[in-house]
Amino acid sequence: MAVPATPWQPGMRITALRLAAKDYQAGVVNISFTNLTSYTQNFTFAEPFPVVPIMNCEIASGAGTTGRFEVRPISVTATGWTLFALLTDAAEGPDTWANIPVHWVARMPT
């Protein structure tokens, strides 16, 4: 995201950087932890955003007991964010994840 994507304006020059510009970043992270009911991990964006982006993340697996967990982004800034995974059923005990994929997307607000 060397040049942030901007709406086309009359008179704008077409450049290679502008054609390659995106207003979002996305990725997949593999999460592992042992015997926990909640977990956090910090991430840094490859390119900082000019403002705090809008974010979403999802567990991309149905393996084991991942269905009892949810994930969400917290502490989002222009330079990074924190993944927060938590057990949604307090009656269940701690759990272990091994390389569970979580997909994430961060985009510029409209």
| Cβ atoms of 70 and 59 closer than 8 Å | yes
Percent pLDDT > 70 in the chain is 87
Domains contained in the chain, CATH given: 24-107 (2.60.40.2080)
Q: Residue 64: pLDDT above 60?
A: yes
Q: What are phi and psi of 16, to 5 degrees?
A: -60, -40
If pLDDT is split at 50, 70 and 90, which confidence band does 3 have?
very low
The C-alpha atoms of residue 67 and residue 21 are separated, in whole angstroms, by 36
pLDDT digits (tens, 9 = 90+) for 77-97: 999 999 999 999 877 889 999
pLDDT tens, residue by residue, 4-19: 566 666 777 777 766 6
Q: What's the whole-model pTM score?
A: 0.80
* Proportion of the chain above pLDDT 90, given as a percent: 63
What the block records as the tokens of 93 is 């005990």
Residue 40: the pLDDT is 98
Per-residue pLDDT, averaged over 106-110, amounts to: 89
Cα distance between residue 27 and residue 83, in whole Å: 13
